[in-house]
A and B are shown apart, each in its own frame.
Chain A
Amino acid sequence: MTVRSLLGLAALNLFALAVGAGLLWGLRGWRSWWELARLAGLAYMLGIAGLGVALTLVLVAGIQFSLATILLTGMALAGAGAAVAHRLGRPRPVLGTGPRRVGLAGAALAVLVVVYLEALFRAARLSGLYAFDAWSFWVPKAKAIYFFGGLDEQFFSELPNATYPPLVPTLEASAFHFMGSPDVVTLHVQFWFFLAGFVAAVAGLLATRVPPVLLWTFALLALVSPRVVGRTLEPQADFTLDYLFALAALLVVLWLLERRPWQLAGATLFLGAVMLTKREGQLLAACVVAAALVASWRDWRTAWPRLGLASACALALALPWRAWYVSHDLTGEFPSSGGTGLLENLDRAWPSFQSVLTSAFSTDLWTVVLPLVIVAVVLAFIGGARVLPVYAMLVYAFALAGFTWGIWSFVELEVPIEQDEAINPVVRLSASLIVLSAALVPLLLDAAWRGADPPRRPEAG
């Protein structure tokens, strides 16, 4: 039973990698096969984001969801990428000169990350479905898509959080198809693939930009956070959202620094996927875009139209789902007191902010990640960098403000506000900032060491 499921999941994720490689070929191409190996994690996450978005649109369009649908959709995405690459005349890649040099310290840290992931795999493949939200609605939605072949309005409306976007249930249903059954135990391995893919994507993007010691230190620091160790394998959308958000934010800042079109295009796909993963994805996407607009104000004439176009495209990917649930009378997307209701609950403002800060800086959850983020931002400023630390600071600040608004408007959570995760979503919200740190902090510290923003360089990947 589980052997077949594991092989099926391996096949799905190899398929996602192939789809993502097609998208990456269209977005930027690669000069050598070693370069593709370095960017394999990014290709995989592009494939996951692309498949998630496309299959969500397929469901909204009412097309029968089946194994054939998944395969055809993936092939269409990869084919589109290949067509774009052909049109742009991308040169054939050469073999290349082999992997980059990694020092002993970097190798030792990379070893720890690899062994950590291997150990997590052992936990994933025999995990039971214990997480409340997972068995309450995430996995039931996935089973409904798997068994009914589409979005069943009645079933979705009866489950909690009916308006939550279906990207993760769609991917879970895809996993069920490849596994040949709704194996909710082996399903946890799919979330191990998401984590491993995220780590590989960040490593691949930063390998040519920061020293290996910085890269692997902060990857490891984020990975060993108690919350990550304990919850990252749960078949829910929380950490998936965080990975997609962090990759979008990373690609946007790389674009701000290097202005390679493919970086903004890749970020657009991830932003669309973020908004189709959870409701708070819209907030996180807005934080990334707003921070980028402010950080690029010096050359707003060239940057702002491009950021606007990227935002519009990402929004266009997310709108069909919104149209579907509005047309099917599903409600509850926004908190009832999120607008003018805030003024009626001014006494909640400070406690909400305190709740957010308490969670974000909790050493029980995240060790010392966020304090180190603050140190990294300050050092980057002192070192002379500007665009990078301004962007990073604003992403975190806007996100903390957004989370405060979310808790403030969640009037069912009474003052004094408890940190109990069962009733307060702030812990799940703050995870996104920790995951983001694994991507941004190495860049910040490298900028502090260099004494400037990372230079615009010839295509370094």
Chain B
Amino acid sequence: MPRVSAWLVVAVAALGYPLLVLVFSGPPAFPTRADCVLAPTGEGEYRVVFGYRDSELEALELRDRALAVGFQGTEISRDGCGRVRVAVDDIPSREVGEEVIREARTVDLDPTLEQEG
């Protein structure tokens, strides 16, 4: 067998497998940090998230700001995507959550409503 032919067989297989995967399974998924943010779905409890930070130190500063203006129960926790979440958990309904958000915006905080995981 000519020297090049065998190597071509290997090269074709090496390229062919990922091409077949693309054809039959579609493009690969590349998760981002946004995948750890759960949009409100209407089931279960919610959380009001004051923000995400890359370090616990920065998250503690935001938490202290929220506590200082009266948002009791604000805690930090890891979000599973390498960031630290600053939030109030166990919000019972969407209406309560939106009310909390309205109040927060009056004191220069900009939280969002998320579903609890």
Q: Is B1 an interface residue (CB 8 A)?
A: yes
Query: CB distance A98 to B6 under 8 Å?
Result: no
Q: Secondary structure at chain B's binding surface: helix, strand, loop or mixed?
A: helix
* Bound: A103/B28 CA distance, A: 34
Q: How far is the CB of A122 from chain B (nearest CB, A)?
A: 7
1/0 contact string of A47-70 vs chain B (CB within 8 Å): 000000000000000000000000
In the bound complex, CA of A98 to CA of B81 (Å): 46
Q: Is the CB of A1 within 8 A of B17?
A: no
CB contact between B14 and one of A3, A101, A114, A126 (< 8 Å): that residue: A114
B17: A residues at CB distance < 8 A: 114-115, 118-119
B14 to chain A, nearest CB (A): 5
Q: Chain B residues with Cβ under 8 A from A182's Cβ?
A: 82
Would you list which residues of chain B between 1 and 31 have a CB under 8 Å from chain A? 1, 3, 6-7, 9-10, 13-14, 17-18, 21, 28-31
| Chain B positions 60-95 with a Cβ under 8 Å from a chain A Cβ | 81-82
Q: Does the CB pair B14–A118 fall under 8 Å?
A: yes
Residue among B1, B7, B10, B29 with most chain A CB within 10 A: B10
- As a 0/1 sequence over residues 106 to 118 of chain A, the CB contacts with chain B under 8 angstroms (1 = contact) are 1110110011001
Q: Does A455 have its Cβ within 8 Å of any Cβ on chain B? A: no
- A258 near B: Cβ within 8 Å? no
**Contact: A126 with B31, CB < 8 Å?**
yes
Q: Choose among A98, A108, A118 the residue that contacts B18 (Cβ–Cβ < 8 A).
A: A118
Interface status of B33 (Cβ within 8 A of chain A): yes
Contact B13 A1 (CB under 8 A): no
B106 interface contact, C-beta 8 A: no
Beyond A107-B9, A108-B9, is A98–B3 a contact (Cβ under 8 Å)?
yes
Nearest chain-A residue to B54 (Cβ)? Answer: A181
A423 within 8 A of B: no
Q: Is the CB of B6 within 8 A of A103?
A: yes
Q: Is A114 a contact of B81 with CB atoms below 8 Å?
A: no
In the complex, which residue of chain A has the Cβ closest to the Cβ of B36? A1
Q: Does A326 contact B (CB under 8 A)?
A: no
Within 8 A of B (CB), among A372-401: none
**Count the A-B residue pairs with Cβ separation under 8 angstroms: how many?**
57
**Residue contact B13 to A115, C-beta cutoff 8 Å:** yes
Q: How far is the CA of A111 from the CA of B9 in the complex (A)?
A: 8
Q: Which residues of B contact A312 (CB under 8 A)?
A: none
Is A1 a contact of B9 with CB atoms below 8 Å? Answer: no
A345: B residues at CB distance < 8 A: none
Q: Is the CB of B3 within 8 A of A1?
A: no
* CA A385 to CA B40, docked complex, whole Å: 71
Tell me if A99 and B33 are in contact (CB < 8 A). Answer: no
Per the 8 Å Cβ criterion, residues 51-98 of A in contact with B are 98
Q: Is A2 an interface position by the 8 A CB rule?
A: yes
Cα A126 to Cα B25 in complex, Å, equals 15
Q: Does A422 contact B (CB under 8 A)?
A: no
Q: How far is the CA of A122 from the CA of B9 in the complex (A)?
A: 22
A160 to B93, CA, bound (A): 43
Chain A hits for B14, CB < 8 A: 111, 114-115, 118
CA separation between A101 and B17, bound complex, in Å?
23
CB distance from B37 to the nearest CB of A (A): 12
User: Given known contacts A1-B81, A108-B9, A118-B17, is B31 in contact with A99 (CB within 8 Å)?
Assistant: no
- Complex contacts, A104 vs chain B, CB 8 Å: 1, 6, 9
Cα distance A106–B5 in the bound complex, in angstroms = 12
Complex interface: chain B residues within 8 A of A106 (CB)? 6
- Determine how close the nearest CB of chain A comes to the CB of B12; give it in whole angstroms: 9
Chain A residues whose C-beta falls within 8 Å of the C-beta of B81 in the assembled complex: 1
Tell whether, in the assembled complex, residue B9 and residue A3 are in contact, meaning their CB atoms are under 8 Å apart.
no
Contact: B32 with A1, CB < 8 Å?
Answer: yes
Residue of A nearest to B9 (CB): A107
Q: Which residue of the partner chain A has the closest CB to B31?
A: A2
Q: Cβ of A111: which chain B residues have Cβ within 8 Å of it?
A: 9-10, 13-14
The 5 closest A-B pairs by CB, nearest first: A107-B6, A111-B13, A102-B6, A107-B9, A1-B32
17 A-B contacts (beta carbon < 8 Å): A1-B31, A1-B81, A2-B31, A2-B32, A3-B30, A98-B3, A99-B7, A107-B7, A107-B10, A111-B9, A111-B14, A114-B10, A114-B17, A115-B14, A119-B17, A182-B82, A185-B31
- List 18 additional contacts besides A108-B9, A111-B14; criterion CB under 8 Å: A1-B30, A1-B31, A1-B32, A1-B82, A2-B30, A2-B31, A98-B3, A101-B3, A102-B7, A104-B9, A107-B9, A110-B10, A111-B13, A114-B14, A122-B28, A126-B31, A182-B82, A185-B31
